[in-house]
Amino acid sequence: MQTIDIYKLADNAKFNGFHGKVLFWCALIIIFDGYDLAVVGISLPSIMKDMGVNATTAGFMVSSALFGMMIGAIFLGTIADRIGRRPTIVLCLLLFSVFTAVAGLIKDPVWFSIVRFLAGLGIGGVMPNLVAQMTEYSPRKIRSTMVTLMFSGYAVGGMLAAVLGKGLIEAFGWQVVFLAAGAPALLIPFILKSLPESMPFLIKSNRIGELKKTLSSLEPSYVPHANDKFALPAGDKANSASIRELFQEGRGFSTAMFWTSFFMCLFMVYALSSWLAKLMSSAGYSLGSALTFVLVLNLGAMLGAIGGGWLADRFHIKRVLICMYALAGLSISLLGYRIPTAALFVLVGLAGATTIGTQIVCYAYAGQFYPMSVRSTGIGWASGVGRSGAILAPIVIGALVAMSLPLQHNFMAIAVPAVIAMAAVALIDHQRSASVR
């Protein structure tokens, strides 16, 4: 008989085909998730014209999905620690794929908002679960890189939406890019077959045979025996996954700082994702050029996520985040000024790298901070609370756009949260992290 510490086994495993399979499916789902979220931002000028709504109303329409994301991140992030991560991920995919497609059939602003709220439940719920999944199954030495590489799919989804938008919206209308979002639901049987379940959940539900098979794929040197026992560090034992545990063992203040950081960063992310195309159109750029800025924003996000993850595995992830937030504030504040177009593209790319990219690194940090048993719960609550910033962003910036303020004032309002987020991350007590053992 041998006692297996599954946490250490996962930490010390070498990257193999099993890790590659988990990365592939998680990244693919994130691509779909990013597409479904970005599709409204790239369609917003056309939706406003077609439905005859003003900027303030459009801001509320965008925020309906973000409100759903807040509820989804909290509820579906927490429930995964109770019913299993794999079925929760599939449920989320079904929600955001089906209801985003349905939104393409609606012409009424109120019903559009309701359907986008339902899609938002899945969009928000899938994020913390995929971060927890990738964190759990990544070797410790490359954990930040794996999580941010997976999450860079979010930016790929945004770029896909921008590319399709440039090619299809002017020719066929905004509805077609929404209808395309229903296709990923066809992959659900393959996801159920290929994606592993959370190891602590398998122990909790006494599915030991499945656990042994997963561990053999995770670390081929492990040879299962009939009487094997499986251990977790004391703080990682599967239990009730209550929110109270996020505030125990000295994690309370740091949890509040994570929530503040997520709030501020998601405010910046969704302010840019929702209004960048419209702001650039107002500045005199054509719709095609404005969508190019969205494409560059998401390209920068992908590079920022991968680069940030690479840096976080080589330097202290907390310091990397502080530097990224500083660059976010600087780059966004400069976007409102008249500068050469080439320089403007560079700034937009840097803004994407240090907002969307930074949020992805922040997800990775939260995934490392909380123990396995409450990882989805911890990330879900941070993401859920942060979604209130995402909800406010389109409304606040929409109100500013409606006031016809100078362009630099709009971008300065988006940049200020970077300073607050930087301070919040600096105050996180890293010694309370589950990664410090």
CA 18 vs. chain centroid, Å, equals 23
d(CA 325, CA 331): 10
Q: Residue 4: which H helix or E strand, with range?
A: strand 3-5
Conformational region of residue 238, where left means phi above 0, alpha means psi within -120 to 50, and beta covers everything else = beta
CA distances (Å), origin 258, targets 109, 155, 263, 408: 34, 22, 9, 29
pLDDT tens per residue, range 261-291: 999 998 988 888 777 766 776 666 665 666 6
pLDDT tens for each residue of the chain, 437 residues long: 567 777 778 788 888 888 899 999 999 999 988 888 778 777 777 778 878 877 777 777 777 887 888 788 778 767 777 788 899 999 999 998 999 899 888 888 889 889 989 998 998 888 878 888 888 888 888 887 788 788 778 778 877 887 777 777 777 877 788 888 888 999 999 999 888 988 888 888 788 888 888 888 888 887 777 777 776 655 444 444 567 777 767 777 888 899 999 999 989 888 887 777 667 766 666 656 666 777 788 788 888 878 887 888 788 888 889 999 999 989 888 887 777 778 888 888 888 888 888 887 888 888 778 776 677 678 778 877 887 887 788 778 777 777 776 777 878 888 899 999 999 988 888 666 555 44
Q: Look-up: residue for tokens 């942060």?
A: 386
| Cross-strand pairs, 231 | 5
pLDDT tens per residue, range 183-242: 899 999 999 988 898 888 888 878 888 888 888 888 888 777 777 777 665 544 444 456
Question: Comparing C-alpha atoms, which of 53, 154, 67, 51 is closest to residue 103?
Answer: 51
How far the first Cα of the chain sits from its last, in Å, is 26
CA 228 vs. chain centroid, Å, equals 37
Under DSSP, the state recorded for 314 is T
Provide long-range contacts, Cβ within 8 A and 24+ apart, for 166-170.
166/288, 166/291, 166/292, 166/295, 169/42, 169/43, 169/46, 169/287, 170/287, 170/288
Q: In the chain, what is the greatest distance between 2 CA atoms, to the nearest angstrom?
A: 72
Under DSSP, the state recorded for 230 is E
d(CA 400, CA 381): 29
pLDDT tens per residue, range 380-408: 788 778 878 877 887 787 777 777 767 77
Predicted pLDDT of residue 223: 79
Predicted pLDDT of residue 231: 65
For 204, other C-beta atoms within 10 Å of its C-beta total 17
CB 331 within 8 A of CB 375: no
> Which residues fall within 8 angstroms of residue 372, CB to CB, at 6 or more apart?
7, 136, 198, 199, 200, 232, 236, 238, 434
d(CA 437, CA 94): 38
d(CA 145, CA 151): 10
CB 331 within 8 A of CB 276: no
Domains and CATH numbers, the chain: 3-432 (1.20.1250.20)
Q: Answer positive or negative: Cα dihedral of 156, 102, 266, 374.
A: negative
Dump strand ranges (E) for 172-267: 229-231
d(CA 197, CA 276): 38
Q: Look-up: residue for tokens 């595995």?
A: 313
